[in-house]
Structure 1
Amino acid sequence: MKKILLAAFFVGTFSLSYAQSEYYNDYRRSVTDINWQTVAADLLLSKTQTNELNSLNDRYHDYNSWNRVYVNNPDRWREDRYYEIERILGREKYQKFKAKYYKGQNPTAVYNRNKNNDKRYKHMTKKSKNYKQDNGRGHKH
């Protein structure tokens, strides 16, 4: 019985840390996918705004520093980050930033797009469509 509980504990811990690390990878991409020097130049940011953006981008330099803050709600990083970017840039410049770098989409949606699109289950849609076309018999004629 102890072995089963211990195994369940390790599996739960591993899957939680795996899920957490996926959120952290999204966070890191939100920092590294954009050339922030270009953003500063395009939006004519002040030195103070540029320094604040750089500070925001350097806030969580590794997984452990990020995880200490977001361990209980890893999805919250998106709202926190983009609220801070909007605060730094101001509403008007933030709208320009969003239009240019996220094609007008909410940045939180950009990094949440594939969360419910698990590739392991993609093959199921074909099977379910085929099943419906079989008149419910479960095989094709």
Structure 2
Amino acid sequence: RIELVMSQEGDFKTEAEAFEAKLHLKDPLEFKAVHHGDMSAAQFSNEAKAMEVLSDVAEVLKVYHSASLLIEGHTATPPEKMDKWAHDLAHSRAEKVKAAIVALGVEAQRLGTVGLPGHLGSGKHDTVLKITSF
């Protein structure tokens, strides 16, 4: 369900994009659809499926017990709707994933979150998991 992908030197353009590895989710985490202006609280479309995938993530983090993970919450927000609500939704998705991983036994201080709505992220309803240190 997940794949550990090591970064290659030159994979990133800036220092801010630097990471050591990604945990590629073969089954992406799906969130319930929301419309612009609705409450921006993130909910998984299928909680059981999401927890299966995230349990694999937690197991990798238990093997690499000193690794730090950056969780990026992304949205498919169009440019004309990039506002506080879009940022809040993206951040809420990242925090939802973090809470689930913490519930699976990983220390919260090892997990960072950032919301990257629309063109600031992938432009898709997506979650990206980057290992920033081992």
Whose Rg is larger?
1
Which protein has the bigger helix share?
Answer: 1
Q: Same fold (TM over 0.5)?
A: no
- Greater RCO (Cα-Cα under 8 Å, separation 6 or more): 2
Which protein has the bigger strand share?
Answer: 2
TM-score (norm 2): 0.25
